[in-house]
């Protein structure tokens, strides 16, 4: 029997890209000569993306759409697509053509050599601003240092995964999704294919600074306790320093009786210790808030309508 491929395309205000990516994806699956399904997950777009996607579904039963009840964010939209996918292999791809659809042919052929995960690694990134490049580079470098799973650097979610991996992901029901970390955690045989990342074809990025920050903290808190250990360590260091200073203060007050009013040193130490304390509480707070989100066990997304 022919193998089947699912392609998951999260959509957030992508009306200028949908028709083009669809056409290019169709060419790719025709070249590969596979059974296929495309799953367009509309993540609360406010333009006419949903109408365009519905148009694509009209004459082709391989094209599926899922309309979420609101904007849940990229990671959740992809998770929803994975939940409903049925292919032997599944591709996750952005809708804005930054991930060239033709690379799927390479990803697929590489997977046939016996890999459950083939991710696309960026050689170059075009049309991305300096701030995004720097923060992304820094983030991935820090992340691999403080986690003990090997999250690949310079790669996003553009990848091909085997059904085994999809089934494993479905059992990982945490609320704060960081898919590339989860897939790294899952293991199996993983490899990569390099590519040049294009600039966004039309429209503008849906990843605001707030969403990027959330993703970064989700990634770190889901896979590392390092920030908590830093909080503990700084506690130890400052307690030790404080203890020495206390001894010195008592010595000068009681024994030598040679002491200054010392306004500056008090202000500096109070502010400094106050800062460290607040930071530590903040770090603990990030973990606690994620515990609370997970304890609630809310569904990750709700579906408005679909043609599944």
Q: Which residues bind ligand UDP (CB under 6 A)?
A: 10-12, 14, 43, 71, 73-74, 77, 94-96, 98, 200, 205-207
Q: Which does 77 bind (CB under 5 to 8 A by kind): Mg ion, ligand UDP, none?
A: ligand UDP
Least CB distance from residue 279 to ligand UDP, whole Å? 28
Closest Cα to residue 42, out of 61, 17, 16, 14? Answer: 14
Q: Which does 135 bind (CB under 5 to 8 A by kind): Mg ion, ligand UDP, none?
A: none
Q: Which does 92 bind (CB under 5 to 8 A by kind): Mg ion, ligand UDP, none?
A: none
**Which residue number, 14 or 116, has a Cβ lying nearer to ligand UDP?**
14
Instruction: Show the tokens assigned to 167.
Output: 């089934």
Q: Alpha helices of 149-208 — where are they, by DSSP H?
A: 163-171, 179-186
Q: Which does 10 bind (CB under 5 to 8 A by kind): Mg ion, ligand UDP, none?
A: ligand UDP
Is 222 a binding residue for Mg ion by CB under 5 A? The answer is no
Q: Which of residues 66-95 bind Mg ion (CB under 5 A)?
A: 94
Residue in 14, 43, 96, 218 binding Mg ion, rule: CB under 5 A: 96
SS3 242: helix
Q: Which does 12 bind (CB under 5 to 8 A by kind): Mg ion, ligand UDP, none?
A: ligand UDP
**Which residue number, 163 or 211, has a Cβ lying nearer to Mg ion?**
211
**Which residue number, 36 or 158, has a Cβ lying nearer to ligand UDP?**
158
Alpha-carbon gap, residue 261 to 266, rounded angstroms:
9
Instruction: Show the tokens assigned to 130.
Output: 């300096």
Q: Which does 206 bind (CB under 5 to 8 A by kind): Mg ion, ligand UDP, none?
A: ligand UDP
Least CB distance from residue 10 to ligand UDP, whole Å? 3
- 51 phi and psi angles, rounded to 5 deg: -60, -45
Q: Classify residue 280 by burial, with Cβ atoms within 10 Å: 0-12, 13-18, 19+.
A: middle
**Which residue number, 3 or 54, has a Cβ lying nearer to ligand UDP?**
54
Q: Which residue is at the shortest CB distance from ligand UDP?
A: 206
- CA distances in angstroms from 284 to 114, 136, 147, 277, 294, listed in the order given: 42, 24, 17, 11, 16
Alpha-carbon gap, residue 14 to 179, rounded angstroms:
22
Closest Cα to residue 12, out of 204, 263, 299, 267? Answer: 204
Alpha-carbon gap, residue 76 to 114, rounded angstroms:
28
Residue numbers of the site for Mg ion (CB under 5 A)? 94, 96, 98
């Amino acid at each position: 029997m022919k193998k089947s491929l699912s392609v998951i395309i999260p959509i957030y205000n992508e009306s200028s890209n949908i028709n083009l990516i669809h056409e290019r994806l169709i060419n790719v699956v025709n070249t590969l000569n596979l059974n296929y399904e495309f799953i367009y997950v509309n993540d609360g777009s406010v333009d006419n993306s949903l109408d365009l996607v519905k148009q694509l579904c009209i004459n082709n039963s391989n094209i599926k759409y899922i309309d979420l009840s609101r904007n849940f964010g990229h990671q959740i939209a992809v998770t929803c697509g994975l939940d409903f996918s049925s292919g032997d292999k599944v591709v996750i791809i952005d809708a804005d053509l930054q991930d060239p659809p033709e690379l799927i042919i390479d990803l697929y052929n590489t997977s046939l050599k016996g890999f459950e995960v083939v991710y696309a690694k960026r050689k170059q990134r075009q049309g991305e601003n300096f701030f995004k490049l720097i923060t992304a580079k820094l983030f991935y470098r820090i992340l691999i240092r403080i986690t003990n799973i090997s999250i690949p650097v310079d790669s996003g979610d553009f990848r091909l995964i085997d059904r085994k991996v999809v089934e494993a992901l479905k059992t990982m029901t945490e609320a704060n999704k960081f898919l590339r970390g989860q897939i790294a955690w899952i293991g199996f045989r993983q490899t990569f294919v390099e590519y040049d990342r294009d600039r966004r074809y039309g429209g503008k990025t849906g990843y605001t600074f707030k969403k990027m920050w959330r993703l970064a903290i989700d990634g770190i808190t889901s896979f590392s306790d390092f920030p908590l250990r830093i909080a503990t360590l700084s506690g130890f260091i400052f307690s030790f320093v404080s203890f020495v200073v206390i001894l010195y203060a008592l010595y000068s007050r009681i024994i030598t009786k040679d002491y200054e009013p010392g306004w500056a040193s008090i202000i500096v130490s109070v502010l400094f210790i106050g800062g460290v304390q607040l930071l530590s509480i903040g770090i603990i707070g990030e973990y606690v808030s994620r515990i609370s989100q997970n304890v609630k066990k809310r569904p990750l997304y709700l579906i408005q309508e679909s043609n599944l």
